């Protein structure tokens, strides 16, 4: 998993979150690059209001984190969404 989000209480809120990710991933300024306490690089994706809408896994290097960002930018717009709420 490259990017995870908060849990949602309604399907509508979840769909809004997905739309926000798809909207904001094309703007590199929405990716906040960080370093965890153990030195592992990771990133947050933020919405236009500054709210974190997704957090990445921890990476072994800055270049691996940048590859993760590139992957999110290229794959998220066409990702098939599977609704598991009825399982």
Q: Which CATH number fits the domain that encloses residue 9?
A: 2.30.29.80
Are 25 and 17 in contact, with CB atoms under 8 Å apart?
no
Average pLDDT of span 28-48:
96
26 within some domain: yes
Q: CA 55: distance to chain centroid?
A: 5
Residue 34 structural domain: 3-77
Q: CA 49: distance to chain centroid?
A: 15
67 within some domain: yes
87 within some domain: no
Q: How far apart are CA 40 and CA 73, in angstroms?
A: 21
Q: How far apart are CA 27 and CA 82, in angstroms?
A: 25
pLDDT of 33: 98
User: Residue 22: which of 87, 68, 84, 72 has the closest Cα?
Assistant: 72
As for how many domains the chain has, the answer is 1
75 falls in which pLDDT band (50, 70, 90)?
confident
3 falls in which pLDDT band (50, 70, 90)?
confident
86 within some domain: no
């Amino acid at each position: 998993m490259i990017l995870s989000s908060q849990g949602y209480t309604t399907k509508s809120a979840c769909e809004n979150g997905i739309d926000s990710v798809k909207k904001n991933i094309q703007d590199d300024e929405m990716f906040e690059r960080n370093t965890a306490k153990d030195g592992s690089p990771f990133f947050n994706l933020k919405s236009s209001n500054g709210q974190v809408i997704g957090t990445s896994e921890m990476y072994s290097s800055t270049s691996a984190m940048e590859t993760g960002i590139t992957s999110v930018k290229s794959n998220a717009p066409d990702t098939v969404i599977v609704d598991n709420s009825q399982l």
